[in-house]
Amino acid sequence: MSEVLQGIRVLDLSRIFAGPDSAQMLGDLGADVIKVESPKGGDECRYLGVTKAELEKIGAPSPSFRSFNRNKRSIVLDLATDAGRDAVRRLMLRSDVVLNNFRPGTMERWGIGYDDLCTEHPGMIYCDFHAYGPVGPLADIGANDLALQAHSGLMSITGEEGGPPARAGSAIVDLHASLAIVSGVLAALFHRERTGEGQRLDTSLLLSSAHLMSYFYQDYWLTGNEHRRMGTANHLSVPNQAFPANDGYVVIIAPSDEMWRRLAAALDPETLGVETFRTASERLRLRKDVVEAISAITRGLSKHEIHAKLSRAKVNVSIVNGIGEATGHPQLEAVGGIFHHGDGERYVGTPFRLHKSPGRMTRGYPGLGEHTAEILSEAGFSEAEIEELSGEWK
């Protein structure tokens, strides 16, 4: 057996980012993932964040849909109808894992909640994914990644010092939640393998954002410290931030006194090797002076010159890349972080690599409802039933 999740069936009723991305990773590990989509255009992500002109150029679906939906088959079922819900129930009964991100109580209202099926299917692993979780004062408030960047306090520590709050530029809470779903589902599968017991689990954008903020919360609980925005800098040490080059920016991090000495020697022993900057606590106290002294040197050099000098001296350094530079760098390819598929298509791979049973890509993104008849037929639906269920949509 070379695939971790060979023989595991996942029914994914979720949309947009976190749920689909988590199901994709389960598919990377070899699960048979079925994506249930609405007849009204399917997952909204198919058209998200892309202009009409771009869609005409690259064809549907959107780049983000392509990012989160490899290794899946798509079935269209209308959950607004009795027949659609009944079909989902039948598919759930033959699935090992069921994911959904409907508002709390929706699956129950449709008669396909965990409690409706768990007696008949005690091995089922059923995952709810919500914005703020299933209960509590915010359970019914709509939210997305940005809302949780705001609610969690992340935005209060992101951006320029004294300036307005900023967001982390990517949907990091959403994609972090995706890995929380994967972790929870794998934990439940391991538990079932040892005990025979399925179970319900849940996670949320809220839990994910709190995990990302956990050490700030701990700091606040213990000391009352409310850290604030510092641009690219960090309250932990100096230097630990971006510095200007003559053609962009680099980040330089030298937390230990030993690394600082190497930095000073590599960049300019005369101005940086001074006694006053030698200890971490003094560099913290003289933050402004240290930053100015380093900037005075880096401004005269190119990004690549600084990177070469400092990496040679074993000082932590990175170029602040644009997206083109980041994707063009050979490192991600070198570690197997890019999946190649079809005719030159590239996809960011599974974010961890098992050496005997690594994630892999066997299918591109599915067309809307592309596998409806195939999936229903496998599940024992009759020709007439298949016709009825797909006829409504086509």
Other CB atoms within 10 A of residue 210 CB: 17
Q: Measuring CA to CA, which residue among 200, 213, 70, 83 is closest to residue 130?
A: 200
Q: What stretches of 126-273 show up as alpha helix (H) in DSSP? A: 145-151, 172-195, 205-212, 214-223, 257-267, 269-272
Query: Quick one: 194 or 394, whose CB is closer to a copy of itself?
Result: 194
Query: Quick one: 201 or 389, whose CB is closer to a copy of itself?
Result: 201
Positive or negative CA dihedral for 66, 182, 167, 137?
A: positive
Task: Report in angstroms how near the CB of residue 289 gets to a copy of itself at its nearest.
Answer: 18
Query: Quick one: 68 or 381, whose CB is closer to a copy of itself?
Result: 68
Query: Quick one: 82 or 140, whose CB is closer to a copy of itself?
Result: 140
Query: Quick one: 166 or 373, whose CB is closer to a copy of itself?
Result: 166
Task: Report in angstroms how near the CB of residue 75 gets to a copy of itself at its nearest.
Answer: 24
Q: Measuring CA to CA, which residue among 99, 118, 126, 106 is closest to residue 17?
A: 99
Task: Report in angstroms how near the CB of residue 78 gets to a copy of itself at its nearest.
Answer: 19
Q: Which of 174, 202, 257, 343 is catalytic?
A: 174
Return d(Cα 317, Cα 323) in angstroms, integer. Answer: 18
Q: Measuring CA to CA, which residue among 311, 314, 215, 304 is closest to residue 259?
A: 314
Q: Measuring CA to CA, which residue among 68, 74, 1, 12 is closest to residue 39?
A: 74
115 classed as catalytic: no
Task: Report in angstroms how near the CB of residue 27 gets to a copy of itself at its nearest.
Answer: 13
Task: Report in angstroms how near the CB of residue 231 gets to a copy of itself at its nearest.
Answer: 5
Phi–psi pair at 132, nearest 5 degrees? -110, 5
Q: Which residues are catalytic?
A: 174
